[in-house]
A and B are shown apart, each in its own frame.
Chain A
Amino acid sequence: MSSTGKEPVAVVGVGQTRHAAARRDVSLAGLVREAALRALEDAGADWADIDAVVIGKAPDFFEGVMRPELYLADALGAVGKPMLRVHTAGSVGGSTALVAANLVAARVHRTVLTLAFEKQSESNAMWGLSLPVPFQQPLLAGAGGFFAPHVRAYMRRTGAPDHIGAVVACKDRRNALKNPYAHLHEEDITLEKVRSSPMLWDPIRYAETCPSSDGACAMVLTDRTGAGRAPGPAAWVHGGAMRSEPTLFAGKDAVSPRAGSDCAADVYRQAGITDPRREIDAVEMYVPFSWYEPMWLENLGFAEPGEGWRLTESGATALDGDLPVNPSGGVLSTNPIGASGMLRFAEAALQVRGRAGEHQVKDARTALGHAYGGGSQFFSMWLVGDRPPAG
């Protein structure tokens, strides 16, 4: 596995829509198009430069269109080209980017457009996530209640104090003020406001949950030659992996799933990372509920088991800390479900390209993008750097 002769993969274009609760000004096609055009423009590319399109989104029921990529082929310039549709639950945005990256790495194609989207306003995610299933006892609606018991288990296991979740929510929302594309721009957010917001699924408060967004994210991935022609700097993929484990099983650690830590370990091995805390400059991780930041900090090897919350509490994960997490504002500020994972991957790429604007982490050279989905069971991650991989 050491000498695979893979083609290095470069991210040369990143685009995202303005995210909002409802983008009533565009059709589904118009929404994906907005992100795609921005990515093409960033890459200095035209539709004709794209060899294939890889698209991802969460369940088709959210928009009520079965395999919407069929209808979107025209809008994404895919006619006459290969088009793949990925669906790996919440991790899909990340998985979609990795499938696209593999097309370049395997030298099947030179330049690939990858895109993920969700237009939640076409329906109602609460409905889509909680369709009643016969014979199952209806106990809950929405994802918060599903994840809250795991958060409690984390607090019990680590002795983390109650306010950590609010620290994360406040930090991410403040970061979002520096990101013009973010859905939530809460100018007056304070720790106290988060802590006094309604307790929805104790221990998760309203202000510690992600919004429902319409939005899309796109990237142009290319090979060495393509990167050489691109007008701007590239982010280079140094490692990428997906890992899955069953939804529910005897022995599952829902607080720190092995699929997540295995996935991170694989990415670090590919990238030659031995001390992620020291060697990684910025992290975009999938934090739909604020407590998942300390949980993933441990799962991804940035903190020892039980110590993730201390890292958060110390301010290390703030934009000016030594390990900024979600400088973009993260999922807590923008959540077009299927695109949320790709936004993490794309924001990581923006950081190492020095293109993150106001939320740029100074001198970021190595960044991790992370996504997860299902019952904390599907993971996808990539690590990008400002230089091509050695070899």
Chain B
Amino acid sequence: MTTGASATGALSAPLVVEFPFTRSLGPVQSAFLTGLRERTVLGVTAADGRTLVPPVEYDPVTAQELRTLVEVEPTGTVTTWTWNPAPRRGQPLARPFAWVLVRLDGADSALLHALDAPGGPASVRTGMRVRIRWAAERHGAITDIACFEPLDAGPADEDPPTAQPRPHDGEFADPVTGITAPARLDYTYTPGRAQSRFLAALRDRRTLGERCPACRKVYVPPRGACPTCGVATDEQVELGPAGTVTTFCVVNIKAKGLDIEVPYVYGHIALDGAGLALHGRIAGIPYDEVRMGLRVEPVWTEDSRYPDHYRPTGEPDADYESYKELL
């Protein structure tokens, strides 16, 4: 993980949010996307008789369910466009292209997609005639349309054909009922100045809390504000290193992406001097002997930002009364 620190010493690090979402389609979207796989473009007849392409499940004006499918042409007219000089990850084309809304012949609404325009923005204009360029491999997704491409210019350019939508039953063999939509977004996470101070001290194996100037409670990890008083905390207080297990659970299921052998004990640990418990793993003792009130201390390892775990100090257990307010 590449982490950074700003002029104020505040930390940041990359945060990737990525998941292949699995989307079920419902009947209309299923027919449309299956149709694309078969190089067939379907629309739906709206309540006012318009043909909507792409077909929507519910009427944009009346909200009524739409199910009457029709077929339209793979050619159409650009209704508006904008140039994209630097395509991003996931966009239809890797080289500069135009985003376009295209009203396909036979349709009354427009579909958003990319237009491959090797001639650059000067070659694109509203009203130009285009046709679908099909993807070589099609699976039943909007990306089965690779993009649009210009239709050879001609007289028709000025006067698009008045194609009529044709009835279609929407039936295909082996219909597509779902799509997988991978999505990755890259963030830079900033834990904040207070947490950065806390993390910096951890590097020296010291746990620093911060005291609220109003209620005098000590927060660990500090979060920049006393959450009950709504004021900034800035007085640093060194805590522990020992503390008391206030409560815990024994974890018996292995979580994906978590490199901890089960069973293990996940505990709430009130470090001496802290106003509330922090969370950590408790080890160095059989898991079924961990108990509330157990006195523990941190165990550090070379490569870890946090204590690897907490182990018993050997002191007598803390009295319930002494930590019950910290539960």
Contacts and interface: CB of A to CB of B under 8 A. Distances in A.
Contacts of B25: 27
Interface string A2-27: 00000000000000000000111111
A126 interface: yes
B1 A134 contact: yes
A23 B23 CA distance: 10
B51 interface: no
B217 A64 contact: no
Interface in A199-235: 199-204
Interface in A23-41: 23-30, 33
B128 interface: no
A107 to B, nearest CB: 25
A123 B21 contact: yes
A292 to B, nearest CB: 15
Interface string B163-187: 0000000000000011001010000
A145 B249 contact: yes
A145 B292 contact: no
Contact of A156 (B58, B247, B250, B263): B247
Contact of B228 (A140, A202, A246): A246
Interface in B1-46: 1, 3, 11, 13-15, 17, 19, 21-26, 29
Contacts of B62: 47
B63 A79 contact: yes
B191 A134 contact: yes
Contacts of A201: 249-253, 266
B30 to A, nearest CB: 9
A199 B265 CA distance: 13
B29 A133 contact: no
A134 B266 contact: no
Contact of A140 (B15, B191, B251): B251
B280 interface: yes
Interface stretch (A147-155, A306-314, A338-346, A359-367): A147-155
B17 A152 contact: no
B26 A134 contact: no
A212 to B, nearest CB: 13
Interface in B293-327: 305-306, 320, 324-327
Contacts of B266: 139-140, 145, 148-149, 201
Nearest to A73: B60
Interface stretch (B132-140, B153-161, B254-262): B254-262
B249 A122 contact: no
Contacts of B326: 250
Contacts of B306: 137
B247 A27 contact: no
Interface string B215-253: 101110000001110000000000000000011111111
Contacts of A126: 255-256
Residue among A30, A77, A126, A204 facing the most chain B CB atoms (10 A cut-off)? A30
Nearest to B267: A149
A198 B262 CA distance: 13
Given A24-B24, A75-B58, A127-B19, A135 B13 contact: yes
Contacts of A127: 19
Interface in A119-142: 121-124, 126-127, 130-135, 137-142
Interface in A236-253: 246-253
B199 A135 contact: yes
A75 B252 contact: no
Nearest to B189: A134
For the complex, would chain B's binding face be called helix, strand, loop or mixed by DSSP majority? mixed
Interface in A137-175: 137-142, 145, 148-153, 156-157
Contacts of B247: 149-150, 152-153, 156
Nearest to B278: A248
B242 to A, nearest CB: 19
Nearest to B14: A134
B197 interface: no
A153 B246 contact: yes
A265 to B, nearest CB: 19
Contacts of B1: 134
Contact of A74 (B63, B189, B281, B305): B63
A273 interface: no
A151 B268 CA distance: 13
B246 A200 contact: no
Interface string A42-70: 00000100000000000001011000000
Contact of A251 (B217, B258, B279, B305): B217
A246 B263 CA distance: 31
B228 A27 contact: no
A152 B228 contact: no
Residue among B21, B59, B181, B248 facing the most chain A CB atoms (10 A cut-off)? B21
B63 A47 contact: yes
Given A29-B57, A133-B189, A202-B250, A139 B279 contact: yes
B207 interface: no
B276 A141 contact: no
Residue among A27, A28, A132 facing the most chain B CB atoms (10 A cut-off)? A27
Nearest to B281: A139
A203 B191 contact: no
Interface of A: 22-30, 33, 47, 61, 63-64, 74-77, 79, 121-124, 126-127, 130-135, 137-142, 145, 148-153, 156-157, 198-204, 246-255
Interface of B: 1, 3, 11, 13-15, 17, 19, 21-26, 29, 56-65, 177-178, 181, 183, 189, 191, 195, 199, 215, 217-219, 226-228, 246-253, 255-258, 260, 263, 266-268, 275-276, 279-281, 292, 305-306, 320, 324-327
29 contacts: A24-B177, A24-B178, A27-B29, A30-B57, A33-B65, A64-B181, A74-B63, A75-B63, A134-B14, A134-B189, A135-B189, A135-B199, A139-B279, A139-B280, A140-B255, A145-B249, A148-B249, A149-B268, A150-B247, A151-B249, A152-B248, A199-B252, A201-B252, A201-B253, A250-B217, A250-B219, A250-B275, A250-B276, A250-B326
Given A29-B26, A140-B258, A250-B219, 6 more contacts: A22-B24, A123-B19, A139-B279, A145-B266, A157-B327, A200-B251
Sort A-B residue pairs by CB-CB distance and give the 5 closest, nearest first: A141-B255, A250-B275, A148-B249, A246-B227, A77-B63
